[in-house]
Amino acid sequence: MSNGCTRRLGWFAGAAVLEGLAVLAVLPLFIGWYTLGKAPLLSPLEVALAFDSPLLREANSATGSSGVINALGDTRVRYGAVYDTRGAEAGKGENTMNATYRLGIAAAHDVQRLTKGMRFEV
38 band by pLDDT with thresholds 50, 70 and 90: low
pTM attached to this predicted model: 0.43
> What are the pLDDT digits (tens) for 43-57?
777 777 777 777 777
Decide if pLDDT at 58 tops 60.
yes
Got the DSSP string for 22-76?
A: HHHHHGGGGTTGGGGSS-----HHHHHHHTT-GGGTTS-GGGHHHHHHHHHTT--
